[in-house]
Structure 1
Amino acid sequence: MKNQTVFDLALAKHVAGEIVDAAIAYREMLAADPDHVEALHYLGVVLHQQGNTAESIEMILRALQLDASSPERYNDLGNILTENGRFAEARQAFSAALELNATDANLWNNLGSVLHRLNELPEAETAYRHAVSHSPNFVPALNNLAALLAEQNKVEESSFFACRAYVQPPLTDKPLKMLGIAYYRLGLVAEAADCYRSWLDAEPDNPLARHHLVACTGQDIPTKASDRYLISLFDDIAENFDSKLVGNLGYCGPDMVCSLLNDCLMANANLSVLDGGCGTGLCAPVLKPYARLLTGVDISSRMLGKAAERALYDDLVESELTGYLTRKQQAFDLITMADTLVYFGDLSEIFVLVRQALSPLGTFCFTVEQTSSVEVPLGYQLNTSGRYSHSNRYLTDLLNANGFMLLREHETNIRHEFGKPTPGMGFLARALC
């Protein structure tokens, strides 16, 4: 039987997973032809699969000594060395492979991986970027580059590559909610809308799918987020809300409220204070020094449960905010709404109700997200994030129209979205007699 036929039979056993028989066949072949390069190489691979690493590496090195023209052989050697923690030697193997084939994304990714392990981060990043440039949809390199960038706190770019990896096929087992988020992060709003549309087809009564579909299509935009949407959203995220919003997203709403109040009010605990849309009570430590009576209102029972754990509120009320305010007449000296009005588009009704619920010369403090453009016909817009943003002119006009005098205004980045800063505004106004 010719050597090639013998080798083909050995390789067939190897591919079929019959590695013991394959090893025997490779060795029999090498007994007859000690310099058969492919038999040496694949015996090395089988030996590695059997846990015999030392002889495995020896066989592949012998094959390379006989024929150093195969990048795949260097790659196999590099992978075996990597699995055994011999990263510096693996780097040499992958580098040798790339000298033979500099356009192979897998080789660049493997080199990046060992450089990453060697803590040579700039070089690892370069290697990963080479991999992505040669194969833009190569998931391992996209994920590795995302992880490396995250380690260096390059969150915005990291999220971009992570989302590019996430939207690669197969998609069948990936939640439509997460796919929608990944697509809109990539600026692929039409694809995000398709995900939310499919989600809504599967769950016609799902308020999250409905709200985000509207946010992506811009069709039939509501004047505020629905109660069902808010309850579903915040009940779901209540448990980890603080760590995600403050820790991961850099939310600074309470800091903005603190700064605005410190400029104009004495913290002498003599005010009736409403924390409107209090959530888990992030603003409670800021508001408590001003409060004779501190009330928190929120639509989510689970968020209120977390707020109660702070033991800073005198009263916590589960209610939709406008409905609650409708029942209040000159009941509060200070009303705050931090990150609450981002779920309202049209603020005309709630400003009227705030004015009604404030005592004469009472104070209104709130934060919003700022529109990216001054020219917003309605004065607000629903963004693909599912939150509303507002223009400065719209807010100042509403304050004036409802009998408020603007005391302080502050612009800053109120949070980060996929590592990208979100412009925000904070306002402090006084109700005129």
Structure 2
Amino acid sequence: MSDALARAYDLLDAQDRLGAMSCLREAHGAEAAGLLGELLLEDGHAAEAAEALSRALAVDPAHTPWQRALVTALIMAGRRADALEACRSLLARRPDDAAGHSSMARLTLDLGDREAALAHAREARFLAPADLTILAATGHVLIDADEALMAVEMLDAALRQAHPADPAQPAAWVVLGKSWQHLGEPDKAEKAWQSALSLDDADPAGAASLLAGLAERGNQTSLPTAFVRALFDTYADRFDRELVGKLHYDAPQALRQLLTDQAVPTGGRVLDAGCGTGLAGLAVRDRADYLAGFDLSPRMVEKAQARAVYDVLWVGDLVESMQSRPAAFDLVLAADVLVYVGDLTPVMSAAAQTLTPAGYFAFTCERSEGDGFCLHEGRRFAHGERHIRAAVEASGLRLAHLAPHSTRIDRGAPVPGWIALAIKPS
């Protein structure tokens, strides 16, 4: 060990960080360069850290902690291509390195390869199920990949068994809270962020500012996409049994009867918006020359595909899927889909765009006695008559039918609802 390196260690022991870094800049050898790089990275000087770590690795390319630090420094410095190359080198040498897989998850997601990112995230969790630092970083990736439920399951399990003195707890609680927020669970997010604050008043992870941001949560106009997707991905295997068998769900049959009663022409191109497992598709297949369907939940689409009644199916967002297919369908169905949307104006506008002239939009939703819409305790929206009429009118559609109809029961009583038919002018 050189005199300069020894002096740097003495200064670090004496809490003189700046003096130690000054000595390390004058020292020679891989150990000095590596230590300098790690200190610079801790202080946020990513570009200089990457340079020092690269010098160290040129001498000792198999030093795993320096490899990890270099990947992090390159990501922080915005050098994504170099970071990807460094991470690949790390995993080639150490395929069991959890931190490397977590970093690769971030890099591949940023490059648009979601499936590869999720594979690396799962590997990071498998290899380091109790490392809160790695799991917090991986959790951020899962949130950005719209897999917040996976992040919740991962972090909740790890935090339940974490050592009380683990310094990574606050950051992990913050990421857990962000995951709950992404899933539309502000109360659970609040509890997680309060846990983070209780562990460290200095709040290095920013829990206080996140808690302050929850003040706006009362203005919710729709449920988060991630919440709806996670709900139905989880629910898909038992959806038909519970909805039809236990809740006596009849929206598909009610919509079919509405089409008959209102003399809606048969044939043509039909879109089942929010198709779920395909119950509505089954109900109207014989009325359609061409039947398309989509749902936000990949698992629901898989179930619908198995019914073999659709000409085409895809995974997609409610509004975007209709907006991106102008004048494509003669009839659009939305069976119990609008309960996950507050403000119906964007949905009505998108339906108007995807309909051909003189096309029809048939839908059900839950009923509110007020004029607007409200999110009730069941995490579903209920809509007032005035709001429905205003949203339909704003879209340019004409409301041909609106009547009370309950599509299911809850706790032994019918849930108040609406059944409606809107028409696009010819």
C-alpha distance in 2, partners of 1:285/1:353?
A: 24
Q: Distance in 2 between matches of 1:229 and 1:271?
A: 34
Shift of 1:223: 1.6
- Please say if 1:335 is aligned against 2:308: no
* Amino acid aligned to 2:350: L
Q: Aligned partners of 2:324, 2:398: CA distance in 1, in Å?
A: 24
Which residue is 2:168 aligned to? none
The DSSP-based 3-state class of the residue aligned with 2:408 is strand
Cα offsets for 1:267-314 (capped at 9, x unmatched): 64x211000000001101222122111000101110011101111000
Q: Which runs of 5+ in 2 are unaligned?
A: 1-151, 154-172, 191-213
1:351 aligns with 2:338: no
* Aligned mate of 1:396, from 384, 389, 396: 389
TM-score normalised per structure 2: 0.51
**Residue matched to 1:326:** 323
Contact 2:339 2:365 in 1 (8 A): yes
8 A Cα contact 2:182 2:226, kept in partner: no
Q: How far is 1:214 from its partner?
A: 6.1
Letter in 2 for 1:400: E
- Counterpart in 1 of 2:116? none
Pairwise CA distance, 1:335: 0.5
Structure 1 match to 2:306: 309
Secondary structure at the aligned position of 2:217 is classed as coil
The alignment status of 1:245 with 2:243, answered yes or no, reads: yes
Query: Could you tell me whether the CA contact under 8 Å between 1:281 and 1:306 is conserved in 2?
Result: yes
Q: Does 1:204 align with 2:177?
A: yes
Aligned match for 1:363, one of 360, 364, 373: 360
User: CA 1:336 to 1:289, structure 2 compared with 1: closer, same or farther past 3 Å?
Assistant: same
Relative to the length of structure 1, the TM-score reads: 0.50
Query: Deviation of residue 201 (structure 1)?
Result: 7.3
Deviation per residue, 1:49-108 (Å, 9 max, x gap): xxxxxxxxxxxxxxxxxxxxxxxxxxxxxxxxxxxxxxxxxxxxxxxxxxxxxxxxxxxx
Q: Structure 2 residue aligned with 1:419, among 404, 407, 412?
A: 412
Q: In structure 1, what is the equivalent of residue 223 of structure 2?
A: 225
Distance 1:381 1:425 in 2: 15
- Output one character per residue of 1:3-34: Cα deviation in whole Å (capped at 9) or x when no partner: xxxxxxxxxxxxxxxxxxxxxxxxxxxxxxxx
**Deviation of residue 318 (structure 1)?**
0.6
* Superposed CA offset, 1:200-249 (max 9, x none): 87932444895244699993342211111111100000000011111111
The answer as to whether partners of 2:401 and 2:421 remain within 8 angstroms in 1 is: yes
Deviation at 1:408, TM superposition (A): 2.1
Summarize the alignment of residues 145-184 of structure 1 with structure 2, pairs less than 5 Å apart: none
Matched residue SS, 1:335: strand
Specify the code of the residue in structure 1 equivalent to 2:312. D
Q: 1:428 aligns with which of 386, 411, 421?
A: 421
Alpha-carbon shift at residue 258 of structure 1 (Å): 1.3
Q: Distance in 2 between matches of 1:210 and 1:239?
A: 20
Partner of 1:305, secondary structure, is helix
Contact 2:269 2:291 in 1 (8 A): yes
Give the structure 1 partner of residue 259 of structure 2.
Answer: 261
Q: 1:407 aligns with which of 371, 384, 400?
A: 400
- Give, in whole Å, the separation in 1 of the partners of 2:174 and 2:235: 24
Kept in 1, the 8 Å contact 2:183–2:226? The answer is: no
The letter for the 1-side match of 2:366 is: E
Greater Cα radius of gyration, structure 1 or 2? 1
1:278 matches 2:271: no
Change in CA separation of 1:343 and 1:272 when aligned onto 2, cut-off 3 Å:
same
Instruction: Mark the CA change 1:331 to 1:232 in structure 2 (over 3 Å): closer, same or farther.
Output: same
Alignment size in residue pairs: 232
Percent of pairs identical after alignment?
32
- Deviation at 1:403? 2.1
